[in-house]
Amino acid sequence: MESYCKTLTIEKLSPNGFVGGVVSDNVITEERIAFYLNGRKLLSVMSIPSEQDFHFVGFLISEGVLSDISQIKHLEIAEDGKSVSMEAEIHTENLENLFREKTLTSGCCVGVAGNLEGHIVERFVESEILLNPSILFKYLREFEIPSPLFSKTGCVHKAMLVLGDKTLVCEDIGRHNAIDKVMGKARMLGLNTRDCMLYVSGRLSLEMVIKAVMHNIPIVISKAAATLMGIKAAQETGVTLVGFARGERANVYTHSGRIQM
């Protein structure tokens, strides 16, 4: 954790002016991470320099460029941590589609998505999972516990994947990055995401729902709100969308049949 934040000196300000003199404060570290696929630079993302390999894998699956980790022949993080290189067997058309129709996402750091509407039409999440509300809120309480990095900086999003009694957690300055990291981690560990829950800290917008669909995640839960396009996408793709999950209350927007006593 220490390598992801730095201590700086700052001054505190109040309506009455500066107070307390010069004090120390912890600030998050972000780096520009370059992704290379088959020798070609795809893009650079602003991210915490951690779990860069999982981030790249999750991103490529989210964008439909990669469908299975068996396609990966080599994956390496540069020694300085500022780039990730992958050699993989992919269809050229899938790669070109990533840049043919770009959408600047509404995330808190720059994100690029391809043909969002195309992803919606082609996918539907099939899952037999039935979730007791008590389980949803049990893991919500776990998710709400601040991580050491958040406690020190107040500057990271979190994504937590629940698979049976196993949980995976990843953090990043970007909510999209956090999801790509945790999904890439699950895939690299060989875990099946078809009957899992995904907890996120950011709003449930269209691109967040699409990431869930591309990874076959049936239930997505956030402490934040859902957007209209996010709700419509979840309805069309079979995703149970739960927002404003805080304390002992939550809003279920779509496919509530998966949540049963």
Catalytic residues: 108
Contact indicator for 238, 124 with CB cutoff of 8 Å = yes
> Which amino acid is residue 203, in one-letter code?
R
Contact indicator for 258, 131 with CB cutoff of 8 Å = yes
- Give the Cα separation of 227 and 232 in Å (integer): 9
Contact indicator for 22, 153 with CB cutoff of 8 Å = no
- Using a 10 angstrom Cβ sphere, with 0-12 exposed, 13-18 middle and 19 or more buried, the burial of residue 17 is exposed
